[in-house]
Structure 1
Amino acid sequence: MSEDRRAAQMRLYLDEVFNRHDLSRLDQYLAEDLASHWLGDQTLHGLPAWKDAMAGFFAAFPDAAYTLDDIFFAGDKGVWRGTWRATQTGAWEGIAPTGRKATWTVMIMGRFAGDRIAEDWVEYDRYNLLRQLGGV
């Protein structure tokens, strides 16, 4: 898949999943046996685990919106960097609903197998997110 086509596919993925919170077509973008490494301290194995984690995130942050800042590809890998803005109205990672607005950055590197993400590494500014929610 060309880099331009992969970038277009990823922009569509980010819009559908991250901004519209539509988890119904994940199999179009993610491999069934996806390994998703979050902050180096946990790995989600398989598409169902990733879907459950994101459903919990969207339940806690129903207005979550993602702005893509950068995206690039090299070989079978790609990196996208962006900013989340959201209001916490549900419990998340042990923090009761706060009603607070938060803004934090995230960087994701994905490894592709064909036209789907087979593995990714997610790094986000957890400290500032937790600080804004009153968890630090």
Structure 2
Amino acid sequence: MDRAGIVRAVFDQGWNEQRFDALAPALGTFELHVGGQHRTTDLAELEAIVGAWHEAFAELRFDVHAVTASDDVAAVRATLRGTHRGAWQGLEPTGRSIEVEHMFFFRFDGPRITHVWELLDRPALDAQLGR
């Protein structure tokens, strides 16, 4: 699978369907960069992160609009959608729908993802949740 196919699978199979078995060859240990914070994580922790989002947001789904890949980098533009039905980051369920634009950048070493940078419209997410 090429790099564009790998990152599409991260969203289609991983985030949307919560099926991570096919992603194991591409996702071992990797650096995750979100909101100015950086940490080393792995496929098992990613599964837990995705599971927590699905518990908090019914019908959670990433719609991927564009993927571009070259050499050792891939970029993704996507929209996250869902309905806030469970507790999330200290906020009790609001029943509100969310629609949040995202950009992701993936760095590869061969077929493996080594770094993921996530940029999201956090002010829009907070406003949609009534924060």
**One fold, TM greater than 0.5?**
yes
Q: CA distance change for structure 1 residues 55 and 114 in 2, over 3 Å: closer, same or farther?
A: same
Q: Which letter maps to 1:96?
A: E
For structure 2, the 5+ residue unaligned runs are: none
TM-score (norm 2): 0.88
Matched residue SS, 1:15: helix
Q: CA distance change for structure 1 residues 93 and 77 in 2, over 3 Å: closer, same or farther?
A: same
2:75 corresponds to: 79
Q: Which letter maps to 2:11?
A: L
Q: CA deviation at 1:25?
A: 3.9
| Residue of 94, 102, 106 corresponding to 2:102 | 106
2:122 corresponds to: 126
Q: CA distance change for structure 1 residues 24 and 62 in 2, over 3 Å: closer, same or farther?
A: farther
2:6 corresponds to: 9
Q: CA deviation at 1:41?
A: 2.7
Q: Distance in 1 between matches of 2:73 and 2:48?
A: 24
Query: Does 2:48 correspond to 1:52?
Result: yes
For structure 1, the 5+ residue unaligned runs are: none
> Identity over aligned residues, as a percent?
30
Which runs of at least 4 in structure 1 moved beyond 6 Å after TM superposition? none
Q: Distance in 1 between matches of 2:112 and 2:57?
A: 26
- Could you tell me whether the CA contact under 8 Å between 1:36 and 1:50 is conserved in 2? no
TM-score (norm 1): 0.85
2:91 corresponds to: 95
Q: Which letter maps to 1:109?
A: F
